Structure 1
Amino acid sequence: MPVNVVMPQMGESIAEGTIVKWFKNEGEPVKKDEPLLEISTDKVDAEVPAPASGVLAKIHYGPGATVPVETVIAEIAAEGEAVAATPQPAAAPEATPAAVPKAQAEAPAPAPPAEEPFARELTPAPAAPEGEVFPAAAPVPAEPEASEAALLRRRSSPLVRRIAAEHGIDLAQVPGTGLHGRVTKEDILSYIEKQKAKPAAPPAPPAAAPTPAPAPAAPRPAPTVPAAPTFAGEEYREPMSIMRQRIAEHMVASRRTSAHVQTVFEVDVSHIVRLREKYKDEWERQYGVKLTYTPFFLEAAIDALKAFPVLNASIDGNDIVYHRHINLGVAVALPHGLIVPVIKHAEELSLLGLQRALTDLATRARNKQLKPEEVQGSTFSVTNPGPYGNLFGLPIINQPNVAILSIGNIQRRPVVIRDAMGREGIGISDVVYLALSFDHRLIDGAVADQFMAHIKAFIQEGRFSLA
């Protein structure tokens, strides 16, 4: 009996989804749990796995169709099994059956996009060594035609392909333990560790070389902008994506809802820079994660939110709703928009835990693997325009939060320094501007400035958990 593929319920408040593309064409074999199609909702973009193995016998709705949840959108049948016509529900808004173009169905899953600033864990880059903006991973080269067994073994997630590309590894050489030889994250990481453990080849005798030229400065991250349109006349039009429509709606609604006010503080982050330099290699070696600047700012914000819980609240009519837990929304820039995944119960996490959560959420946001509940329930948000080189940003509040913190670009600047004897002089320090947008309906300017002063003192006194 054919198995129905239905539009999934991606969250309690989500009533419909839009089909972005199908990864299979009608008549092609599918395996249970492999990605079958991509959908977009007003909360998150996600890949939908096949509910069963068999043949994709019938696609009822093609790309661009918006259908209610629980609607049958396709059927998977056993080899040679006939599929009866399935009546469509009368109330299926915008759900127009459409054929899936062969070219789209056969197109390979896209390689992960260049890791944009917040897509790489909100790292405030240029000013720091190694450029904390996560340089773009090299694309995985297209694989030549091979046997079905080899292709199955090479199948892997975008995360695994990115790790392989970063380390220059051919996935065909990695033993896979997943379904049908699928290379899992654990497989690739284990393979990398084994490669590191192999003795290095003896170095070649040194040869005379010209004096090297000074290393060029690390390039700034390329902005996430759409490709230039090809004009056939005086103007070019294209419809907004579902995500862009939702972003527009949410931003306008936030401006209409909250009384936006901003305050900006200059903060000396020399402690953060020194601590990161001291621990980054150890963390990568011991924990397998890159230590970025972002968790330091998050830890400072968490401490301030504990001291000023009104900034971790929300407004419901005439009630102030205080939240027991601190759920940090972290903005992630994607090539096609912006998403804000949430670190739940952030007050319970160490600096290492915050870094791991950032890395995980940013990676899965890029790979469209976030669940709806992972982009809901934030109580305070953080965004980071700093990697593009600006001084600071004045962001729009992420509803229903009452405040959002913006991290600017870390820069080395001349500053006035006072020694223990009270004498003043000019020195060089690592400095950043932190900006807070807050809802004046609930938060007074004095409270907002006290909150920011708390963050500044926490950072400049180096109260971090690993110090």
Structure 2
Amino acid sequence: MADILTPALGESVAEATIAKWTKKVGDPVKRDELLVELETDKVSLEVVSPADGTLGEIAFAEGDTVTPGAVLGKVTEGAAAPAGETAPKADEAKVAAAPKGDGDASVPVQVPTMGESVAEGSVGTWQKKSGDRVAKDELLVEIETDKVAVEISAPADGVLTISAEAGSTVTPGQVIGHIAASGEAAAAAPKAEAAPAKAASGSDDPHLSPAVQRVVAENNLDPKSIQATGPKGNITKADALKAAAQPQAPAAAAPAKAAPAAPPRADQPREERVKMTRLRQTIARRLKESQNTAAQLTTFNEVDMSAIMALRNRYKDAFEKHHGIKLGFMSFFVKATIAALKELPAVNAEIDGTDIIYKNHYDIGVAVGTEKGLVVPVLRDADVLSLAGIEKGIGDLGRAARDGDLTLDQLQGGTFTITNGGVYGSLMSTPILNMPQAGILGMHNIVQRPVAIDGKVEIRPMMYLALSYDHRIVDGKEAVTFLVRIKEHLEDPQRFLLDL
């Protein structure tokens, strides 16, 4: 018998939960066929059959907790192998027979590698149906992961057969369909390549993925006016969003085309049920776990941004010319935060059981809002970086987050988090801890307000600061002192520039 083992779960992940068995004891299984799904606090994992045979034993039920290396069950080898081997051949014969011709070949449509640390994705809406003829490089479907949407195009001309329906969970390398290509199909494809596309759509619009279609419809865009930067000349969602942010003069030039894009409200359903994305599910689960675990409390202060703004305005042009990057506010906040963390190490610590782990390194998580949700990439060893190094590092992480190119390593291991709701206009908030961290700093909108300065009322650019902290290891005195230190450093930036 072959053991079904729990795989390695990743750095700092000690256990997983059995989410679902796809087979019952006694069911025939094939080698590499999905048997069980595991869930951790960071990612979902799939465990496949180690051999052909019959599922002989299930050692853990759904909902049980397992650790790496645990035997989940056993496969009795050999019993079901012959039957399992004949089915694919029959399917391939059926697929190959779709176009005319006895010598047709079937080309698999496979899920590509979706990036480091991305183990699975969900099949989006197919642009074609089984039996439809497709042209090579024509967009077929999008695979949605918790970081990015991956487009899959046809690998050949021919007739499509779909084997993984919309909503299915798939892994890199998995075959989700076949294209039966014949001599007739190959010969007909070049002639039909331009005309069928127009016939199907009634126009010469570029082909759009579902995500792009939504942006185009919601913003009343003309697809032909959008500059495409995607592979094979496809319009990406980022292209559509960029076009939506620009003045919409083209829409006025084509009123007849733009008018039907937004249906009347009366024609829209009163409610619409949409499945949460993988990223949104992870965000929801982790935020609730944070509330249920930590004794969270928030303390507030305000900072006069006059000194930082004056310093930035004075040197921003020279800074950008010398370092090749704009000088923002975030680098000052990171520097001030690290200075406060060094003075109050409990805010940079975490709880592990009955132990407190004090961190002597400063890996700062910076919350980034993306189209799919909030992610917190980590700026490593921020204490040894200059202001320019911090700005470049945050800029690189922000671009990777928006492009869906972040790795799992870039999303874990932070010691403290900074989130800036001010970019969206937030005046005040109570941020939720990014567990297992003990503190998170909330920045907010800069507002001109009257304040008392040396007995006189003056208008100053003021920002509210919020520190949410884990009261299990951080006392109120430490939390208040932490915010006061940040306030002092920002109102007198020479302090941390001179390491005072």
TM-score (norm 2): 0.57
Written as runs of structure 1 = structure 2, the 5 A alignment for 1:47-66 is 47=150, 60-66=163-169
Structure 1 residues 239, 276: closer, same or farther in 2, change over 3 A?
A: same
Match of 1:459 in 2: 490
Written as runs of structure 1 = structure 2, the 5 A alignment for 1:175-324 is 235-242=270-277, 243-324=279-360
Using CA pairs under 8 Å that are at least 6 residues apart, name the structure with larger relative contact order, 1 or 2: 1
Match of 2:458 in 1: 427
**Paired residues of 1:404 and 1:436 also in contact (CA < 8 A):** yes
Q: Distance in 2 between matches of 1:151 and 1:453?
A: 48
Unaligned runs of 5+ in 2: 1-105, 186-199, 248-261
Written as runs of structure 1 = structure 2, the 5 A alignment for 1:355-370 is 355-370=391-406
Q: Distance in 2 between matches of 1:304 and 1:346?
A: 13
Per-residue displacement from partner, 1:215-264 (whole Å, max 9, x unpaired)? xxxxxxxxxxxx99957799413124223322222221111011110100
Q: Distance in 1 between matches of 2:318 and 2:292?
A: 47
- Of 125, 132, 136, the match for 1:29: 136
Q: State the 1:154 CA deviation.
A: 6.0
Per-residue displacement from partner, 1:32-69 (whole Å, max 9, x unpaired)? xx99844223xx3353788x976697654244222356
Q: Distance in 2 between matches of 1:40 and 1:352?
A: 33
- Is 1:17 matched up with 2:53? no
**Paired residues of 1:111 and 1:139 also in contact (CA < 8 A):** no
Match of 2:48 in 1: none
How many residues align? The count is 354
Q: Which has the higher strand share?
A: 2
- Which amino acid in structure 2 is aligned with residue 65 of structure 1? S
**Paired residues of 1:262 and 1:394 also in contact (CA < 8 A):** yes
Q: State the 1:16 CA deviation.
A: 3.7
- Of 422, 426, 435, the match for 1:386: 422
> Secondary structure at the residue paired with 1:106?
coil
Written as runs of structure 1 = structure 2, the 5 A alignment for 1:129-148 is 142-143=223-224
Q: Distance in 1 between matches of 2:178 and 2:475?
A: 57
Written as runs of structure 1 = structure 2, the 5 A alignment for 1:99-138 is 106-107=207-208
- Of 323, 326, 335, the match for 2:362: 326
- Which amino acid in structure 1 is aligned with residue 144 of structure 2? I
Match of 1:377 in 2: 413
Q: State the 1:448 CA deviation.
A: 1.2
Match of 1:40 in 2: 145
- Is 1:409 matched up with 2:440? no
> Secondary structure at the residue paired with 2:468?
strand
- Which amino acid in structure 1 is aligned with residue 316 of structure 2? K
**Paired residues of 1:112 and 1:367 also in contact (CA < 8 A):** no
Q: State the 1:156 CA deviation.
A: 8.8
Unaligned runs of 5+ in 1: 83-101, 115-137, 169-226, 419-423
**Paired residues of 2:111 and 2:152 also in contact (CA < 8 A):** no
> Secondary structure at the residue paired with 1:415?
strand
> Secondary structure at the residue paired with 2:369?
strand
Match of 1:349 in 2: 385
Q: Distance in 1 between matches of 2:497 and 2:125?
A: 45
- Which amino acid in structure 2 is aligned with residue 453 of structure 1? V
Per-residue displacement from partner, 1:328-377 (whole Å, max 9, x unpaired)? 22222234422222222222322112212222222332232323332222
Give aligned-pair identity as a percent: 34
Q: Distance in 2 between matches of 1:437 and 1:151?
A: 41
Match of 2:19 in 1: none
Q: Distance in 1 between matches of 2:440 and 2:430?
A: 9
Q: State the 1:453 CA deviation.
A: 1.7
